[in-house]
């Protein structure tokens, strides 16, 4: 990692060489939630499901699901496409130091079941196997304990003067000075947040970004569905398909870069054997 310079944050490096448009956009449009670009991917699952079936036969007790594949594919995509790992804070553009993903884990599938936060940190050399293990370890940890951020928030809840606390918290967040104990597993301090609505039988939908934190990407995974596809001769065939929606802060890059990024994500999910390569290796 490059030496930290004046203007850098502990979680990101200030981008100093920047074109005029991306310099001006945070000044003119300072709120992340006002700059959401919403895109949808439709992914064929034939090869993916065959891969999962073979994996689970060869790795008993270490099962793989479509959710783990999407997480691994998303992390590899962001690693390969570094502009997707940028964020805007205090009207400045930063390159994030780490590639991270977050998701919520519900301890029990009931109306009053508690939720905790899981955070995955990708490292050089990571593959589908190591990322899958990290996801499963995080889920197990979330179901059996509480995360650091939740514990810190429970303490803050007992402090009087919540409006003043809110003002101070937003100031600290804007400058990257929020205590690590508070944001240790805060999903909105990560490269991407993922939500698996398919696990509860729901289709994809729009999910907004947050002005709090630094997350520039939110991905929603829907349920699998059989959908008709037309071949070159106009014949109709049914294929199982997965829909994924992405909400992206449009200020961090441009549409051409986003389009190539989503094509890479689609390629990785449809061809999960590519995730066996180290995360830093191009495909």
pLDDT in tens, 1-22: 568 888 899 999 999 998 888 8
Instruction: Using the Cα atoms of residue 218, residue 64, residue 45 and residue 143 in order, give the sign of their dihedral.
Output: negative
Q: Is 108 domain-assigned?
A: yes
The verdict on pTM exceeding 0.85 is yes
Assigned domain for 171 exists: no
Asked whether residue 158 is domain-assigned, the answer is no
* Range picked from 2-6, 192-196, 223-227 for highest mean pLDDT: 192-196
Looking at residues 44-65, what average pLDDT do you find? 92
Alpha-carbon dihedral sign for residues 46, 48, 50, 56: negative
Q: 97 pLDDT band (50/70/90 cuts)?
A: very high
CATH number for the domain spanning 214: value is 3.30.559.10
Distance CA 168, CA 85 (A): 26
Look up the domain containing 43 and give its range.
12-147+185-272
Q: Is 159 among the domain residues?
A: no
What are the φ/ψ torsions at residue 137 (nearest 5 degrees)? -65, -40
Place of tokens 């003002």: 167
Instruction: Specify whether the backbone of 90 is left (phi greater than 0), alpha (psi in -120 to 50) or beta.
Output: left
Give the confidence band of 203 by pLDDT, cuts at 50, 70, 90.
Answer: confident
- The verdict on residue 1 lying in a domain is no
Residue 140 domain flag: yes
Query: Number of structural domains, the chain?
Result: 1
What does the alpha-carbon distance between residue 164 and residue 120 come to, in Å, rounded to a whole number? 32
Classify residue 258: in a domain, yes or no: yes
| pLDDT tens digits, one per residue of 23-47 | 899 999 999 999 999 999 999 999 9
* pLDDT of 109: 58
Residue 63: predicted pLDDT: 86
CA distances from 126 to 26, 95, 120 (A): 34, 21, 11
Q: Is residue 40 part of a domain?
A: yes
Q: What values do phi and psi take at 207, rounded to 5?
A: -130, 125
């Amino acid at each position: 990692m490059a030496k930290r310079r004046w203007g850098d944050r502990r979680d990101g490096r200030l981008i100093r060489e920047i074109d005029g448009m991306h310099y001006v956009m945070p000044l003119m449009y300072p709120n992340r939630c006002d700059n959401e670009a919403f895109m949808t991917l439709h992914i064929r699952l034939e090869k993916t499901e065959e891969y999962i079936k073979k994996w689970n036969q060869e790795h008993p007790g270490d099962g793989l699901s479509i959710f783990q594949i999407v997480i691994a594919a998303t992390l590899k995509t962001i690693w390969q496409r570094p502009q997707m790992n940028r964020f805007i804070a205090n009207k400045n553009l930063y390159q994030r130091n780490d590639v991270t993903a977050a998701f919520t884990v519900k301890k029990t599938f009931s109306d009053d079941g508690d939720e905790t936060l899981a955070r995955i940190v990708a490292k050089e050399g990571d593959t589908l196997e190591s990322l899958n293990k990290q996801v499963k370890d995080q889920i197990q940890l979330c179901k059996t304990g509480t995360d650091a951020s939740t514990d810190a928030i429970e303490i803050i809840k007992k402090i009087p003067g919540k409006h003043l606390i809110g003002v101070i918290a937003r100031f600290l967040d804007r400058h990257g000075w929020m205590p690590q104990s508070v944001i240790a597993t805060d999903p909105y301090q990560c490269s991407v947040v993922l939500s698996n609505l398919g696990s509860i039988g729901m289709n994809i939908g729009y999910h907004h970004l947050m002005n709090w934190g630094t997350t520039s990407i939110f991905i929603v995974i829907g349920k699998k569905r059989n959908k008709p596809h037309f071949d070159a001769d106009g014949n109709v065939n049914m294929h199982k398909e997965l829909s994924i929606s992405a909400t992206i802060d449009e200020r961090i890059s441009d549409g051409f870069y986003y389009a190539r990024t989503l094509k890479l994500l689609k390629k990785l999910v449809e061809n999960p054997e590519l995730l066996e390569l180290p995360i830093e290796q191009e495909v």
